[in-house]
Structure 1
């Protein structure tokens, strides 16, 4: 299986590359491969063929980059069998529950949390307006295999275009999607591109901060990136069993 992993920024990309390479026997360095649109894949070929791409921030940038890489691979006669959105994000917490800083979550649903319309009665998802979709669900066998191998929690990962900055907004999102564990900005865009190509998609995120009021002093980005590396070190073994 060939896997495409899409991150937002280079730090996330490098954390993923380190993890996949750590599963190889001996030292493994990524090879840079240029694709149309000015994108650069970082390719690790053992123990699993993985291309990692830093696409930029937000669902539109993620969708454009993922679609470009998927199309280029198909035209080259070497299509991907899986697309993964990966990186760090904010965790929803409720006391001791939820996704604490440093934990890893595997998506059992990739959700566009703010795609829809505001009405006098509150937010209405685009699906309730009669068109589009707001949710992609990865194959159950894939989610189970990856969660088991990485020790990650399973839950919904929300994609937003505006990061939450208040307790009120955090509560509103949690009420809208009670199964949400993480908020990020790219997963749904990646999943949309994958769906257009008929390829399964998954999202893997490590928690760097709590969803809510922005407190940069409380962010643990380094810790989250280390957790992401560890999770991707276990990914080749999870996929070796034939998932999805």
Structure 2
């Protein structure tokens, strides 16, 4: 299965590439450089597309279009990088623990646009309740299970935000609206939108560098999270090799845990 991995920044891209070798740099329209795996290698191609859902969607769509026009389309698109982890919540259980500690791996079973909608006097209303658009992409469960098993990752929703959470109140709001949420990042939904436009399945994999909530830079563990990202992608090709190739994208849909409107 030929995969494209999309990160936000070069440090994340380099962490993914460190799991393989022999990458060649290929320029893309718009100034991006694709790190192309050697022919015959099971390693994925890797692109640093920029920070935020818009940059992620634009960069991903560019790389997918170039590959399609060259007659070498991808089979899978993966949003990857470091992210914030939510603290365990009241819904945590031994069978399905909530929360993601520093250094852990998270594989999304729902890629959720957490702030795409409207603020109203009664609280936040997702764009779907306004009658248009979508806020969730659901990755193929077989792919999620295989990658989580290979990486030792926890499985649960990952929310995409345009503004990183910086307060306990906002963290609690997101956790209440998205029960079981494990991680927060800024690119997954944009990558998923581009993948869906090309009819491709999508995954999101995050390693946890900090806790979601009040910003405490001294407590961030970016180095260990990047090292964990490299370790995760050492097992990634083997996980895909044992999984039947998906033939359709993770469909936009309601998440397995329906978001609640915030009062």
TM range (shorter): over 0.9
How far the C-alpha of 1:242 sits from its partner, in A, is 3.0
Q: Bigger CA drift: 41-50 or 86-95? A: 41-50
Cα distance, 1:94 vs. partner? Answer: 2.5
Shift of the alpha carbon at 1:49?
4.7
Deviates more, 1:88-97 or 1:128-137: 88-97
Structure 1, unaligned stretches of length 5 or more? 22-27
User: 1:218 Cα shift?
Assistant: 0.1
Q: Secondary structure at the match of 1:90?
A: strand
Does structure 1 residue 14 correspond to structure 2 residue 14? yes
Q: CA deviation at 1:97?
A: 4.8
Match of 2:57 among 46, 60, 63: 63
SS in 1 for 2:207: strand
| Aligned equivalent of 1:168 | 169
User: Counting helix residues as a fraction of each chain, which structure ranks higher?
Assistant: 1
CA distance in 1, matches of 2:98, 2:58: 35
TM-score between the two structures when normalised by the length of structure 1: 0.94
Measured after TM superposition, the shift of residue 51 of structure 1 is 1.1
2:116: which partner in 1? Answer: 115
Match for residue 216 of structure 1?
217
TM-score (norm 2): 0.88
Distance in 1 between residues matched to 2:2 and 2:239, nearest whole Å: 14
SS at match of 2:18: helix
Matched-pair contact (CA < 8 Å) for 1:6–1:55: yes
Shift of 1:36: 1.4
Match of 1:44 among 37, 48, 60: 37
Q: 1:20-76 deviations in whole A, cap 9, x for unaligned? A: x1xxxxxx2211111211111112235415210001100000000000000000000
SS in 1 for 2:132: coil
Partner of 1:73: 67
In terms of fraction of residues, the more strand-rich structure is: 1
SS, match of residue 94 in structure 1: coil
Is 1:34 aligned to 2:27, yes or no?
yes
CA distance in 1, matches of 2:87, 2:228: 18
2:66 partner SS: helix
**Cα distance in 1 between the residues matched to 2:54 and 2:98:** 31
SS at match of 1:109: strand
The answer to whether the Cα contact below 8 Å between 1:164 and 1:211 also exists between their aligned partners in 2 is yes
1:15 and 1:228 in contact (8 A); partners too: yes
Identify the residue that residue 249 of structure 2 maps to in structure 1.
none
CA distance in 2 between counterparts of 1:49 and 1:77 reads: 19
Tell me if the contact between 1:47 and 1:236 (Cα under 8 Å) persists in the aligned partners. no
Is the counterpart of residue 3 in structure 1 residue 3 in structure 2? yes
Instruction: Find the aligned partners of 2:56 and 2:29 in 1 and give their Cα distance.
Output: 15
- Structure 2 gap segments, 5+ residues each: 90-96, 247-263
CA distance in 2, matches of 1:97, 1:205: 15
CA distance in 2, matches of 1:130, 1:94: 33
